[in-house]
Amino acid sequence: MRNHTGIRSWQLSGPNGEVATWNANRTLRFLLNDVPELTSGSLCNHMLGILVTFIVEIGDSGVQTESADADLFLQWLVDSVEVRNCWHGTPVSSNHAKGNMLGLMEFLACGYQYFGRRVCTPTANELDAQFVKVNTFIPLSYLMGEKGHHSALPVTMYRNAELVINCGDGSDDEGVETDPTVVSATVVASAVFLPESEIHLGAGQQFIDYQSPATASGQIVKLDSLGANTTLQNVEPGSGIDFLAWLSSQYDAYGITGSARVRDIREIGIPFRGMQTTRHLEPLLLGFEAAIGGRELGESDLWDGSNIDVRISNLSGFPYATNYAGQLIADMAADGSDLRDMKLFPIIYPGRDLELTKVQTFEGTQSYQLRFLGGGGHAPVDGTTHHTFAHQFFSWTPAAWDDALRTMVNSGVAQSVLGSSSPLVWSTKLTKKNPAPGLINPAKARYLPQKLTLAQVVK
């Protein structure tokens, strides 16, 4: 996406054809079995992801402005998604890819940007029979870094795969509206892929939602089997984690992520990153903003109550929530917090030019500590859940590499792209200052992509 001249797409169809009808709590399926493996007969297509477009009819009761933002509105349409039956298992799992997290997945997987424009959630009251268009990109690659497209696997690995969309209930207003906000919708989906003159196989990668019970008292957030939790198959133990963040309750209007927000956090300690407990949270929060970029607007006058001036301050994009104007003054007056409405607390996060040799590997349960502001409405409520969202890289087993080679040969793709199907070997793809593969610490090289090359035959 960053150094090529364009992508190719292929509209998907399913049991109900190319255009599916959305209904509350319905399951929709799109098949990937006919996505072309080659372009122009000699270019290998590598799968970047799937773009899903909803054309939504809004009901006349409107959308509640208190809770409606792009992530939550998408949750009304999508409960969860899954991409399954792939060569490598289930890279997108409905246990982890919930509708309210799809925006975060898209933003990270596209390299700290969305695939395209996001919906402007309608807020007027008279919306009967009005329509909005909602796009969401389901990532099957991780386009962070200069060569992020190397994480995309050949389309051949998705010959038996299908996209499953579990529809949402049409509203999240908890009874505020008598009718669902979403009256009806149509759904179309297209595979998005990149044709290349080589065949490469990146590390397995996946988003995982680690859940831990939340209480109103002590907040030890436990991450069970950190790095080992996956729905991929044929991967080696442990995984490299480049993103890990505690999610604010803003990611769910029902509050299942706990009642707390980032502005309520007062202390954090992250032992598995060598970080002692600290009350100075700005280095982590501002460091994340620096990694993302795009904060060039800076801060406007905190005490100016006019919407326009306040909107310039914290509505300059993720990681802030939308429609937050007018509350900044109240927050500062109440507790002096300048964390405001960040949507997550970053623990591990990648730089824009992420290099996979720099990723830390985890395998086993870890914990971190949070302390919240005292008083009602600040700490998580008993019975709710901490959600710690992660992006993980997995290395393939030797048997998986052998099977991938056979798959590319048996499909005929290797012959078409390389002009030969034997003898072939996997060769490590390197960038910039990385030395020859033999000089790299094997622990650092395990997540680097490989490409198929003709073996040098010694006579």
pLDDT at residue 315, as a whole number? 47
End-to-end CA distance of the chain: 41
pLDDT at residue 40, as a whole number? 96
d(CA 441, CA 344): 34
pLDDT at residue 313, as a whole number? 47
| Bridge partner list, 58 | 130, 182
pLDDT under 50: residue ranges of the chain? 65-67, 175, 309-315, 325-326
Same structural domain for residues 129 and 226?
no
Same structural domain for residues 84 and 148?
yes
**pLDDT tens track for 153-202:** 999 999 999 999 999 988 765 545 555 678 889 999 999 999 999 999 99
pLDDT at residue 262, as a whole number? 87
pLDDT at residue 339, as a whole number? 67
Q: How far is CA 80 from CA 20, 116, 138, 205, in A?
A: 16, 21, 11, 18
pLDDT at residue 181, as a whole number? 77
Q: Which of 197, 230, 254 is the last residue of a domain?
A: 197
List Cβ neighbours of 345 (8 Å cut-off, separation of 6 or more). Answer: 245, 246, 248, 262, 265, 268, 281, 284, 285
Report the CATH number that the domain containing residue 37 is assigned in CATH.
2.70.9.30
Q: Is the distance from CB of 360 to CB of 275 less than 8 angstroms?
A: no
d(CA 376, CA 389): 26
**pLDDT tens track for 19-56:** 999 999 999 999 999 999 999 999 999 999 999 999 99
The reported pTM is: 0.91
d(CA 346, CA 285): 7
Which value, in Å, is the radius of gyration of the alpha carbons in the chain? Answer: 23
pLDDT at residue 448, as a whole number? 94
pLDDT at residue 289, as a whole number? 87
Q: Is the distance from CB of 157 to CB of 84 less than 8 angstroms?
A: no
pLDDT at residue 180, as a whole number? 61
Instruction: Give the domain range for residue 383.
Output: 204-394
Same structural domain for residues 318 and 411?
no
Q: Which of 182, 197, 212 is the last residue of a domain?
A: 197
pLDDT at residue 161, as a whole number? 98
162-167 and 27-31 strand pairing: antiparallel
Same structural domain for residues 238 and 92?
no
pLDDT at residue 430, as a whole number? 82
Angle at 173 between CA 172 and CA 177, to 5 degrees: 125
d(CA 172, CA 193): 34
User: Is residue 371 one of the residues assigned to a domain?
Assistant: yes
User: Is residue 242 one of the residues assigned to a domain?
Assistant: yes
Q: What is the DSSP string of 255-282?
A: -TT-S--GGGEEEEEEGGGTEEEES--H
Q: Looking at the 3D structure of the chain, how many domains does it have?
A: 3
User: Is residue 3 one of the residues assigned to a domain?
Assistant: no
